[in-house]
Structure 1
Amino acid sequence: MTEQGPGRRFAPDFLTELFRNPLDPGYADAAARRAEGYRRPPRTRAALRGTTLAVLTLLGFLFVVAYKQTLADQPQRSATRAALVEQVQGQRTNTDALQARADQLRGEVADLRERELDSAEAARLRTLEGAAGLSRVRGDGVTVTVGDGRPTISPQTGQQTDDGRVRDFELQQIVNALWAEGAEAVAVNGQRLTATSTIREAGEAILVDRRPVASPYELVAIGPGDLAESFEAGRTAQAFRQLARQIGMTFEVKQADGVTLAPAAEPELRFATPSPAPSPAGGRSAPSSTPSEGGR
């Protein structure tokens, strides 16, 4: 039996010695040094506790100040929000009043026109106005209702997403499909569409000719008798039915009989000037033989 190192003997029976003393001396020395390092002087421990207490006190003071400041600003924020809501409601009331006045003046203009024009010209004008969306129309067609789907949770962030919300380009797809199937007049939530109408997003709202519309969106179209069947059998309706199954989006197509669509708002006309007539020589103007003034 030999002796190697202080306090450590290796017996011939190695397994017996291993079970008696399983901890390696190196691990024991490291644990002892670590325990020795954690033994701080009393003054160091007192200073650490004092610093911790001071930091906690400062944080508590800052939280109290922030809470009081939030309570102090709450009435001001509430008053500002109430003022904005009142302003929006007032502007909406003014807009509705102006729209009603515009409709009244439009009716007066229509009456004057009927008295001044003969029957043939008045009928032709009414036909053109109906095609342009500037007159009230009535007939049979289809009603397409589409609404936002259920909210989903992102697996990456765990936050709620708006993947099920109806987008502006989706309404555009439905409208284009209705036109393609032969619709003669289309309205979105009562807003009549014309050749210059726009459907676009502004934040989380969808605007039809700069007027907001909300979900569910009801698209009413007047057209041939088989408009509902042809639209429902098209690719657009099939794609939206698949979206309805996947994300719970509302989508319904049904026949509409005897519906009336109000006229659209008066368009904003712009003046245009004719472009210069092209010259006979391939559209290029002949060079002038007269010298320019001052080389300009």
Structure 2
Amino acid sequence: MTVPDPDGGSGKRTFGPDFLTELFRNPLDPGYADAAARRAESGGRTGARRQAARGSAAVVLLLIGFLLVVAYRQTVAEEPARTQARQELVEQVQRRRTGTEELQARADKLAGEVAELRERSLSDAAVARLRDLEAAAGLATVRGSGAKVTLADGPTSVDPVTGERRTESQVKDTDLQLAANALWASGAEAIAINGERLTATSTIRQAGEAILVDVRPVTTPYEVVAIGPGDLADDFRDGYAGQFFETLSARYGMSFEVTEVKDVTLDGAAELKLRAAVPSTAPPASPGPSTSESPASEGGR
């Protein structure tokens, strides 16, 4: 449709189609169309660039593979050195352990010689009293009947949310302290945990995941053997400690058992470190409760 031009042009004015009609007629933006046309004209150069990009990627992948091979060969070459160093450390630990055992055997032999010389110099009554005091202090071997408390770790579970191990079912140092204290309170005269004799200065403490009796590690199952009255096992089982361990066993799966033992022998402690000593005129008494360097514990989780 044309109309005269009021501004004095060619005399005709042309009206273009509306926007929607033009959109449906030419859906592609003119800029994209021009770019497609230019790419079509320079097709040879685009192919060359593509080949160059592929070549660069191949070179990069080849370089990465080469670096991985070098790293692997270096790791394999260093592995014998690591294995040798680890083996040397293991052998060193074993040599030190053997040396420690030899020194301990020598110390025990010398202690026996000293005791023999001492008994020769003392009267029979003094020797008898000395043996009673050593037995009460935990330095002499004792023999008799009593009770055995056995504690063992239960199954270890994993927290499904945090992934951390739950240790409620594991025996702790406070549990062994509680067992020893309860046995002392029930009249025990001598106690040993996994063969380690307790004295008045013994400590039971946690060191990481290990439990130390004095300075020696003990592991599950833990056997707390005590020499004392005939009803020692029943008194422990019916007391607070027995009820507490029964609860732990039912709730967390910890193993707990109390049995009566006959004619057991407890070796003397290897060493006793005295902080103070005074002459005693009273009858010998059994050692006090064995705890860590904190007040008596009642266990717990």
Report if TM-score (shorter chain) is over 0.5: yes
1:186 to 188, 191, 199: 191
- List alignment gaps of at least 5 residues for structure 1: 8-28, 273-296
Using the alignment, how far apart are the partners of 1:70 and 1:127 within structure 2? 64
1:99 aligns with 2:113: no
Using the alignment, how far apart are the partners of 1:79 and 1:142 within structure 2? 48
Using the alignment, how far apart are the partners of 1:61 and 1:132 within structure 2? 71
Query: Which residue of structure 2 aligns with residue 6 of structure 1?
Result: 20
Secondary structure of residue in 2 paired with 1:6? helix
Alignment of 1:1-296 (within 5 A): 6=20, 56-57=61-62, 59-158=64-163, 160-269=165-274
Task: Using the TM superposition, name which of 208-217 and 197-206 deviates more.
Answer: 197-206
Determine if contact 1:152/1:163 at 8 Å carries over to the other structure: no
1:69-128 CA-to-partner distances (Å, cap 9, x unmatched) read 322221111111111111111111111122222222222222222222222222221111
Secondary structure of residue in 1 paired with 2:20? coil
Using the alignment, how far apart are the partners of 1:221 and 1:167 within structure 2? 19
1:145-186 CA-to-partner distances (Å, cap 9, x unmatched) read 112221211212335554433222222221122112221111
1:158–1:271 Cα change, 3 Å: closer
* Structure 1 residue 62 displacement after superposition: 4.2
Secondary structure of residue in 2 paired with 1:236? helix
Number of equivalences: 243
Using the alignment, how far apart are the partners of 1:254 and 1:188 within structure 2? 15
2:90 aligned partner, one-letter code: V
* Structure 1 residue 5 displacement after superposition: 7.4
1:69–1:172 Cα change, 3 Å: farther
1:107–1:61 Cα change, 3 Å: same
Using the alignment, how far apart are the partners of 1:245 and 1:111 within structure 2? 51
* Structure 1 residue 140 displacement after superposition: 0.9
Secondary structure of residue in 1 paired with 2:224? strand
Using the alignment, how far apart are the partners of 1:157 and 1:49 within structure 2? 46
Cα RMSD after superposing both structures: 3.1
* Structure 1 residue 53 displacement after superposition: 5.3
1:116 aligned partner, one-letter code: S
Determine if contact 2:142/2:265 at 8 Å carries over to the other structure: yes
Identity %: 56
1:103 aligned partner, one-letter code: D
Task: Using the TM superposition, name which of 236-245 and 214-223 deviates more.
Answer: 236-245
Determine if contact 1:141/1:257 at 8 Å carries over to the other structure: yes
Task: Using the TM superposition, name which of 62-71 and 127-136 deviates more.
Answer: 62-71
1:239 aligned partner, one-letter code: F
1:123–1:271 Cα change, 3 Å: closer
Task: Using the TM superposition, name which of 150-159 and 54-63 deviates more.
Answer: 54-63
Secondary structure of residue in 1 paired with 2:112? helix
Q: TM-score with structure 1 length normalisation?
A: 0.71
1:250–1:48 Cα change, 3 Å: farther
* Structure 1 residue 269 displacement after superposition: 4.3
* Structure 1 residue 266 displacement after superposition: 2.3
Using the alignment, how far apart are the partners of 2:62 and 2:163 within structure 1? 35
* Structure 1 residue 245 displacement after superposition: 2.7
1:208 aligned partner, one-letter code: V
1:270–1:55 Cα change, 3 Å: farther
Q: TM-score with structure 2 length normalisation?
A: 0.70
